[in-house]
């Protein structure tokens, strides 16, 4: 199991320590996404060197390929991907409702067609837990229904009640000592979010996550819901905001009292040449970097910024070179991990509000020498 302790609280922002059988995690923390048992373009040894403390894997994808039974036969996901630190596995619920062709949704579970080969697959709360137990992750997630927002209140109400019933079945199906988190639903309705949280607390979990955000609602609505529900979540257990990843989103979540975050944004953007810097996002393919010998971000201490120029990164990207994807990925992950590290230090020193303000002011401004212009949205 796991044990969580809050080291310091600054307003509602908190710095903590999560002890797990696979190692300790200092929070707040960003979790790189290794959907298929790999963080794209980065080796586990490189992730460790960056300061990665926990990775995220995905039940849906690993069940379809290569298969959770095969992974179990080969010693579990940790051994399979050569990662000895903590792993959190998503339940597959979001992917079922976003990637697969959904054929049937009922009380029992869902039937869908695989996005890989079109075969019919059935996923239930029990099978989701069985898959995650085969994978051997440190933290498992309950199977939930994820709605696209906005949605009518009655539909959201029915969905959160289904998610709660599925959560009960997930807990009943667990036969290992792996931790299990419940997922709070309720759309943009604060009252429904509270209702979902209460139902999950009555069941009892090792941690709680805020699901169903970053699925079509505005940023301000996401912030409003997070600010409302996060402080109401159990103070002695980890709080996880799922699938949210812009730098401002992370800091808003930290300020609300969230401990854990994940998103594909830094790695996916890196492969597309969109890089995060202390002065905003940069599209490295732009012609203005053709003869630019400066590092991507002069304030960054990552290997990419210490050894390679903007001109070289642009050349690699335009040439389609694999090294470009790798250098970009390692930089973006360093940026996100370092942001959380600095946020934690600020909380421990009771200066988080000032840290957040200073970071966002720098992140949104143009600089004329040594830095980069933010990418236009």
Catalytic residues: 90, 262
Rounded CA separation 87/132 (Å): 11
Question: How distant, in Å, are the alpha carbons of 207, 216, 361 from that of 248?
Answer: 24, 17, 11
The candidate with the shortest Cα–Cα distance to 375, out of 251, 272, 223, is 272
Dihedral pair phi/psi, residue 177, rounded to 5°: -95, 15
Burial-class residue 320 by CB neighbours within 10 Å (0-12, 13-18, 19+).
exposed
According to DSSP, the residues that pair with 295 across neighbouring strands are 309
Give one word for 139, left, alpha or beta, with left for phi > 0 and alpha for psi -120 to 50: beta
Residue corresponding to tokens 């051994």: 79
Sequence-distant (≥ 6) Cβ neighbours of residue 327 within 8 angstroms: 303, 304, 308, 313, 316
Which tokens in the block code for residue 60? 């849906």
């Amino acid at each position: 199991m796991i044990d969580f302790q809050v080291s310091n609280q600054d307003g509602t922002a908190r710095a903590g320590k999560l002890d797990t059988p696979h190692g300790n995690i200092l929070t707040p923390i960003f979790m790189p996404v290794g959907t298929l048992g790999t963080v794209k373009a980065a080796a586990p040894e490189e992730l460790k060197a960056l300061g990665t403390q926990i990775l995220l894997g995905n039940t849906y994808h690993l069940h379809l390929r290569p298969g959770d039974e095969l992974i179990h036969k080969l010693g579990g996901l940790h051994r399979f991907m050569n990662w000895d630190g903590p792993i959190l596995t998503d339940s597959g619920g979001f992917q079922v409702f976003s990637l697969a062709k959904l054929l049937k949704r009922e009380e029992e579970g869902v039937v869908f067609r695989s996005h890989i080969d079109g075969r019919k697959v059935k996923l239930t709360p029990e099978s989701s837990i069985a898959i995650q137990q085969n994978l051997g992750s440190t933290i498992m997630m309950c199977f939930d229904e994820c709605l696209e927002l906005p949605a009518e209140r009655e539909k959201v109400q029915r969905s959160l009640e289904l998610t709660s019933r599925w959560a009960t079945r997930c807990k009943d199906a667990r036969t290992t000592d792996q931790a299990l988190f419940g997922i709070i639903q309720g759309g943009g309705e604060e009252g429904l979010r509270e209702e979902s949280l209460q139902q999950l607390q009555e069941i009892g979990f090792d941690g709680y996550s805020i699901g169903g955000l970053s699925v079509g609602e505005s940023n301000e609505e996401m912030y409003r819901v997070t600010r409302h529900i996060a402080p109401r979540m159990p103070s002695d257990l980890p709080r996880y905001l799922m699938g949210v990843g812009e730098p401002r989103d992370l800091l808003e979540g930290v300020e609300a009292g969230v401990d854990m975050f994940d998103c594909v944004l830094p790695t996916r953007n890196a492969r597309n040449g969109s890089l995060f810097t202390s002065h905003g996002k940069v599209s490295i393919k732009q012609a203005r970097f053709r003869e630019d010998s400066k590092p991507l971000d002069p304030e960054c201490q990552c290997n990419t910024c210490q050894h390679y120029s903007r001109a070289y990164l642009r050349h690699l990207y335009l040439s389609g070179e694999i090294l470009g994807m790798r250098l970009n990925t390692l930089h973006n992950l360093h940026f996100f991990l370092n942001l959380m590290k600095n946020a934690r230090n600020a909380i421990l020193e009771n200066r988080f509000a000032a840290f957040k303000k200073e970071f966002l002011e720098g992140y949104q401004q143009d600089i004329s020498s040594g830095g980069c212009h933010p990418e236009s949205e």
